Amino acid sequence: MHELTFFYDPISPYAHLAFERLPQALMGLSVHVRYRPVLFAALLKAHGQLGPAEIPGKREWTYRQMAWLAHQQGVRLDMPAAHPFNPLSLLRLGLCTATDDAPGDTNRYVTGLLFQHVWHGGLDATDPARLAALQARLQDHMAERQKPWHAPDSDTVKQRLRDNTEAALAAGLFGVPSIVVNGRVFWGQDALPMLRACLDGDPWFQSGAWEAADQLPAGVRRG
């Protein structure tokens, strides 16, 4: 069985697209996927980068491309009322549902609800009333399954998110979505075919080509 970790932040439309397409990409394989929320903004800050939606020109292209990809792939994607936004409340709500044996993970059901909250309906992702409704829905779901629940603003939940983000940086992540398998990081929803080839045993991954990318010298470095 393949063990995969899907790092995501619901602020990312590409993470939403990858989440929706992941079952198809993994069809027929024996896999266990762990869904792990991280703070995308913290990854960007650690690498001294701006997000694609913070760069004029790239912002507009990002929204056009994601709309096209959703259309092409048959995935529902409605722009929220404002983007980017602060996703901390959503990330912490998701981690409220984590179990003691996987304290940094959200299950697929919960992960899907977080993405739907942002990318279905064109509404304000940070609206307090909507967040309260989502929290009630998650609490009901956890109660039915007899899983633990921690308050979103608890130190436990805040630490879970910090731990996840630090682990992501330690693994070499610089963006979301990123899927990690056997120490290899596959970034972006367009990396799903590459991921599948790796899991299928494509000999390219044993050819040294993957490792060669680490050895290419940089001709110039800008400050």
| Other Cβ atoms closer than 10 A to 125 | 24
Mean pLDDT highest for which of 18-32, 95-109, 132-146?
18-32
Residue 207, in any domain of the structure: no
> Is residue 36 a contact partner of residue 3, using CB atoms and an 8 Å limit?
no
The reported pLDDT for the residue numbered 148 is 67
Model confidence band, residue 2 (pLDDT cutoffs 50, 70, 90): very high
Angle at CA of residue 109, ends 103 and 115, nearest 5°:
95
Name the token pair of 97.
Answer: 């549902």
**Which of 147, 35, 38, 145 lies closest to 96, judged by CA?**
147
Task: Tell whether 217 is covered by a domain.
Answer: no
Ramachandran region, residue 147 (left: φ > 0; alpha: ψ -120 to 50; beta: rest): beta
Residues of the domain holding 172: 2-202
- pLDDT for residue 20 is more than 70: yes
Tell me the per-residue pLDDT of 145-163, one tens digit each, with 9 for 90 and over. Answer: 666 678 888 999 999 999 9
Domain membership of residue 221 (yes or no) is no
In the predicted model, what is the mean pLDDT of residues 2-24? 97
For residue 153, give the CATH number of its domain: 3.40.30.10
> Does residue 222 lie in a domain region?
no
The candidate with the shortest Cα–Cα distance to 200, out of 5, 31, 33, 32, is 31
CA distance 157 to 104: 9
Q: How many domains is the chain partitioned into structurally?
A: 1
Question: For residue 143, is pLDDT > 80?
Answer: no
Mean of all residue pLDDT scores within the chain: 94
pLDDT (0 to 100) of residue 221: 86
Would you say residue 219 lies in a domain?
no
66 vs 147: CA distance, rounded Å = 35
In a domain, 155, yes or no: yes
pLDDT at 141 over 90: no
Query: Does any domain span residue 166?
Result: yes
Question: What pLDDT is recorded for position 101?
Answer: 87
Determine, yes or no, domain membership for 191: yes
